[in-house]
Amino acid sequence: MSVDDDKYPGDSGRRRFVKGVVGGASLAGVGAVGSATVNSVTASGGSGGGTTQAMAIENTAGPAPRGMPQIPIEIDGDGAIRGVWPEVTSTTEQGVQVQVAEMDMGGQTYSSEWFQYCGVETYTGIQPGFEPEGGNYFHSGADPAYQWQADAMSGGDRFTVDLFSDYETWGNGIGVEGMGKPATGTWRSQGTEDVITIQLLRSPLIEELANSGSVRAPNGETYEADGDTQEWLQASTSQGFIAWLNKCTHFCCVPGFKENEGSARYDAENGVYCPCHQSVYVPFQIVSTVFTSRPRPD
């Protein structure tokens, strides 16, 4: 599967240069390894699971133990947006042959184990060899969190690039405009009883971070990506689109980017806020997290 086609065209020379400069500096996201002991886990009784390193949107406040894992993006020739599912291979674990979904991407090892927490490890869509009816495309849910999405899309529709053409100026009265245009949806859930909730965001900040490793945002913050993170962003985002599994790593609620007016009380009006216990995540700060993923029940 090709995932490095013209995502940020015309910028590779500059990218290489910036990487050399930024790569040596110790900036946000470098070595930010999250809590290593999170989920209680047993290594037996299922496949996969164990110590897992994942790229995540950073958790910056509240009780959540770590960031939420990214889902790498691909955009097809018609402008429809899907999540990359890692390559599936067979291997032997404890004498039993099991399937593993894992691949090298952007200097990282991207694995289905990134999503094995909060019970998602039992979902049909997270089984390595499962081929969902709707492919790996992201689909709009029946009850989206944003008015623009409710107006423009029906449940089950695919997301396409053109729906986000105003992403550089979009706002909804929560926080400042120009941080990006969000959507809520599902992934690898069509035709199953389990709903894998995702958040999709198209942001000029992600675009700039992938291209140059640094961006001054409309909220006055400067976000940085070191060389490794920039390499990962180049591979895992496309045209400013970024996605993550939208399950709070605290107690598994569904957070939202600019979804809740009350988030301003927690300085989260320009980020991702979980209303259950006020955890805050910043999708412009991508970090490497280490956690103990749970085994799949197969």
One residue of 88, 152, 253, 290 binding ligand FES per CB under 6 A: 253
Which of 235, 248 has the CB closer to ligand FES?
A: 248
Q: For the chain, what percentages of helix, strand and coil (3-state, to nearest 5) are there?
A: 20, 30, 50
CB of 66 to ligand FES, least distance (A): 12
Q: Fill in the per-residue mask, 43 to 82: x = in contact with ligand FES (CB under 6 A), - = not in contact.
A: -------------------xxx------------------
In DSSP terms, 184 is beta-bridged to: 199
Which of 88, 98, 150, 276 contacts ligand FES by CB under 6 A? Answer: 276
Site membership for ligand FES, residue 277 (CB under 6 A): yes
Full strand arrangement of the beta sheet holding 108-111 = 88-93, 96-105, 108-111
Site string for ligand FES, 140-159 (x = CB under 6 A): --------------------
Nearer to ligand FES, 199 or 279 (CB): 279
Question: In terms of Cα–Cα distance, which of 191, 128, 123 is closest to 156?
Answer: 191
Q: In whole angstroms, what is the distance from residue 181 CA to residue 201 CA?
A: 6
Query: Contacting ligand FES (CB under 6 A), which of 251, 261, 264, 297?
Result: 251
The answer to whether residue 181 forms part of the interface with ligand FES (CB under 6 A) is no
In the bound complex, what is the minimum distance in angstroms from residue 28's beta carbon to ligand FES?
22
The b-or-e profile of 196-227 (16+ CB within 10 A means b, else e) is: bbbbbbbbbbbbbbbbbbbbebbbeeebbbbb
Interface residue with ligand FES among 7, 250, 258, 296 (CB under 6 A) is 250
The separation between the first and the last C-alpha atoms of the chain, rounded to the nearest angstrom, is 26
- 179 in helix, strand or coil? coil
- Could you tell me the smallest distance in angstroms from the CB atom of residue 255 to ligand FES? 6
Interacting residues toward ligand FES by CB under 6 A: 62-64, 248, 250-251, 253, 274, 276-277, 279
